[in-house]
Amino acid sequence: MLKNSIRTGIAFGLTSAIITTLGLMVGLDSTTHSKVVVLGGILMIAVGDALSDSLGIHISEESKKTDGKSVWEATLSTFAAKFFFALTFVVPVLILDLPTAMIVSIVWGLSWLAVLSYAIARNNKENPVHVIAEHIGIALVVIVGTFLIGGYIGTSFTG
């Protein structure tokens, strides 16, 4: 059984890695249609946003007066989960054409979000269908929103 602080970090890190990385990938793809730009975005998320989210969890845990060891467990597990899972999105972009890589990445990310949501629902003794639907629904709002914003930017501001 994982400690609560580590479970918090992993759940937050995985969720953020999935939703933030997919949102950025979809937005950058619909703006530029460039594999290099999408790869760069993934790497920026894996490093910069993982560090940022880790600091956010760190400060959040400190604000709850959590003991120092648990604060650092949550901080480091958030970073590790976000960093390593975000990097998994590099693989399809490297080996597939970009449109196919985007579809594979979306399926990959949403599948893992469903697995995580199922585990959370079971742990909390909630209906997994409702929890999965809620989390996938939010992720789809992000994906569609960033696709539309990226498309708008791509047609309005590029030459």
pTM exceeding 0.85: yes
Q: What is the pLDDT of residue 159?
A: 61
Q: Do residues 78 and 13 touch, judged by C-beta distance below 8 A? A: yes
Residues 6+ apart with CB under 8 A from 91: none
- DSSP symbol at 158: -
Between CA 70 and CA 140 the distance in angstroms is 32
Amino acid at 90: V
Work out the burial of residue 77: count CB atoms within 10 Å of its CB; fewer than 13 is exposed, 13-18 middle, 19 or more buried. Answer: buried
Q: pLDDT per residue over 116-140, tens digit each?
A: 999 999 999 999 999 999 999 999 9
Q: pLDDT per residue over 15-49, tens digit each?
A: 999 999 999 999 999 999 999 999 999 999 999 99
SS3 66: coil
Q: What is the pLDDT of residue 49?
A: 96
